[in-house]
Amino acid sequence: MLFKTDVPVTNSALAAELVDMMGGANDEDEIQCWAAFFSNAEITGDWRDLFEEILQHPERFSPTISQAVTERYTDVADPFVSNPAMDDTSLGLVNI
């Protein structure tokens, strides 16, 4: 539902609050909800920036959330990455 609303993720304070909420998820039901949220998300515009923030700091999130974000980003956004600093290696998507 967040993607279908006018949630202003361009607001850095709100985006940081969302990231903190995801990072602080301890309850398995809450973790599964965040994972389902990202598994079905459209990665466009400002939401893409939020995905990339999570991908750059996977240690802040449960493995379930990090995996859902990584899989969805790889499926949807990876072919369109325009920022050269956001390549598969820097995002941890390639096992070296």
Contact at 8 Å (CB) between 43 and 53? no
Name the token pair of 37: 């949220």
What whole-number distance in Å separates Cα of residue 62 and Cα of residue 67?
9
Which contacts of 19-23 are long-range, i.e. CB under 8 A and separated by 24 or more positions? Answer: 19/50, 19/53, 19/54, 19/60, 22/54, 22/61, 22/65, 23/60, 23/61
pTM score, two decimals? Answer: 0.67
Write the single-letter amino acid at 27. D
Q: What is the mean pLDDT of residues 3-30?
A: 78
- How does residue 64 score in pLDDT terms, banded at 50, 70 and 90? very high
